[in-house]
Amino acid sequence: MPEIEIDPTTRIEGHHSTTLQVEDGHVTEAKSHIDMFRGMEMVVLDRPPSDAPVFTQRVCGVCFTVHRMSSLLAIENAAKRAGVFGGVPETARQMRNLLERIATLWNHAVHMFALVGPDYSDAVAGTGLDRLDPMEGEGYKRALEAQRELLQGFAEFGGKAPHPLTYAPGGMSATPTAGKLQNIRDQVEFVSDWLGPTDAIPEIIENVRNGEFDADLGEGLHDIVSLLFAAKEAGADDFGVGPGRYYCNGIYPDGDGGREIPAGIYVDGELTHPEKDDITSAIHESTARSWYTDDSGGHPMEESPPKPDPEKEDAYSWGKAPRYDGMNMETGSLARLIVTERDPFDLRATLGGDPTKSSTLNRLIARAQESVLLRDQILDVLDDIEPDSTVNRGWTDDFSGEGVGLWEASRGALSHWVKIEDGTITNYQIITPTLWNLGPRDENGTPSIFEQSVEGMAVEDYENPINVMRTVRSFDPCLACSVHVESPAGTYSEEVTPASPAGVATGGDRPYAGQEVDEQ
């Protein structure tokens, strides 16, 4: 029985590989390997709660905002339960919602054009879609411009990416001036013009069907719809099919105690909207196939910080296996649209065959649909923010309590869990969407969503199992969120290339420009 090893499987972050057992041209077993150890939960121990967002946002250079946000929600939840915090001001709530939408739209642009688009481009797959060719395609390059504009808009309130500092305990630390609001609007409108108007989508679909391209209707949407049709042509509606179970934490607080996108669970064709306590009590992590000790698994509020066990028998991943009431659950844009019962322009019903089907194609369609929704929402939220209004009511680290921050990354459900005693963090856990989608098997042998979705898939070319690759990328995996690595002890040399002319000292004992330094 042939074994196929794919390493790496992603165009971002690396450190994920897949082992496939193939028999008679079909995958009989898949193992999803998360190949590095994450120890960020250990870094924040014995620190004050307000340190947690600063450190945990550095889990990843792509998902930086959502980790800071989830961490803030966790410590604010703990402070609220302890009676020392009354909630963020209305303007801070709006600013956070705005910035999170901008960051998600940016992530979707990265996903569709840089990470998934090449799989259906002419250069990679001979589809004729040369606009999606990596680095050279006009659509690819125009999308890079849009991504840059979105991050510049984000920086007006959020600070420099990927390490924004203005999401602060108790609200925000940046004031929304009229000038900054207008700057954001200008940059978002640049992106909006590139994307094209929402109501033009039916005409764009007809253009793509007829092989036409009308830039006046939006270059971005033409390229995205072309991508979806290429995926349909490749049969992506029938491969990468998961069990059709979806989990969403909800996102964007509405000011009335709810969320604009509510939490939701979709199982066996039934949609429910559980309360936060119901969700948090249902989540457990298995380390049966993970290189961690047994007590590193369990309920996130009770399990120990991760303790590596690299010699563990039957383990094959540094990722844990989160489960909801014992079930593997898919999370991401598709889950969010299913729990809100949205299928804009019936694209998943028509192209995908069923709006709730867990397929490689429907995951791509859902990100495209959500991108248009986000663009329209961002412009509306900008109108609601009052310039120069209160953004923070203060914060104290001096309390004891525990809290959970439930949020949504572009890739899906994210949660941070914290215990605090006398102003010091005593336990911390992070469960990422990539763990939900690409983790290992659990103690019952139940595979992760990705593992399940590729088992049974046909593999026509053992040297290039492209549909398996298309499937793993359809989950938009972000492995840095799932793992973290500490550099080994040792000495190495690095030459510093300065922005200023060589020979200009930087002051003190720090090296001058061009000096070779040894780092431990």
pLDDT in tens, 68-106: 999 999 999 999 999 999 999 999 999 999 999 999 999
Element of type H or E holding 253: strand 251-253
Q: Binding site for Fe cation: residue ranges?
A: 63, 481
The pLDDT score that the predictor gives to residue 163 is: 78
For strands 26-34 and 16-23, give the pairing.
antiparallel
Give how far Cα 411 sits from Cα of 406, 438, 479, Å: 14, 11, 11
How many whole angstroms separate alpha carbon 32 and alpha carbon 439?
7
- What dihedral do alpha carbons 223, 227, 233, 238 form, nearest 10°? -150
Name the least confident of 63-72, 126-135, 440-449, 482-491. Answer: 482-491
Nearest to 317 by CA among 289, 343, 358: 289
pLDDT in tens, 128-157: 999 999 999 999 999 999 999 999 999 998
Q: For residue range 294-307, what is the model confidence (pLDDT) as tens digits?
A: 999 999 999 999 99
Selection from 478, 469, 398 nearest residue 438 by Cα: 478
- For the cut 50, the answer to whether the pLDDT of residue 380 exceeds it is yes
The closest of 191, 463, 434, 159 to 320, measured between CA atoms, is 434
Q: What pTM was estimated for this model as a whole?
A: 0.91
215 pLDDT band, cuts 50/70/90, is very high
Sequence-distant (≥ 6) Cβ neighbours of residue 302 within 8 angstroms = none
- Of the candidate ranges 9-13, 243-247, 380-384, the one whose mean pLDDT is the lowest: 9-13
Pick out the residues of the known binding site for Ni(2+): 60, 63, 478
Extended strands (E) in 84-224: 167-168, 171-172
- Paired with 519 in beta bridges are 492
Whether 465 shows a pLDDT value over 50: the answer reads yes
pLDDT at 494: 45
What does the mean pLDDT of the chain come to?
90
pLDDT in tens, 30-75: 999 998 887 889 999 999 999 999 999 988 767 789 999 999 999 9
Inter-residue long-range contacts of 455-462, CB under 8 Å, 24+ positions, other chains counted: 455/27, 455/28, 455/29, 455/30, 456/26, 456/27, 456/28, 457/26, 457/27, 457/239, 457/240, 458/25, 458/26, 458/239, 459/4, 459/20, 459/22, 459/25, 459/26, 459/27, 460/25, 462/2, 462/4, 462/22
CATH topology of domain 1-87+269-332+408-486: Cytochrome-c3 Hydrogenase; chain B (1.10.645)
CA distances to 53, 130, 187, 263, 274 from 81, rounded to whole Å, are: 19, 55, 39, 20, 20
308, two tokens: 């590596």
Task: Read off the DSSP letter of residue 346.
Answer: G
Q: Which residues are annotated as a binding site?
A: 41, 60, 63, 430, 478, 481, 484
Residues 16-34 have pLDDT tens digits of 899 999 999 999 999 999 9
Residue-level pLDDT at 62: 75
Fold of 90-234+351-391: Cytochrome-c3 Hydrogenase; chain B (1.10.645)
Residues of CATH 1.10.645.10 domain(s) within the chain? 1-87+269-332+408-486, 90-234+351-391
What is the pLDDT, as a whole number, of residue 159? 84
Question: Is residue 8 very low, low, confident or very high in pLDDT (cuts 50, 70, 90)?
Answer: confident
On the question of pLDDT at 509 being above 90, the answer is no
The full length of the chain comes to: 520
Binding residue positions for Mg(2+):
41, 430, 484
156-214: pLDDT as tens digits: 988 887 777 899 999 999 999 999 999 999 999 999 999 999 999 999 999 999 999 99
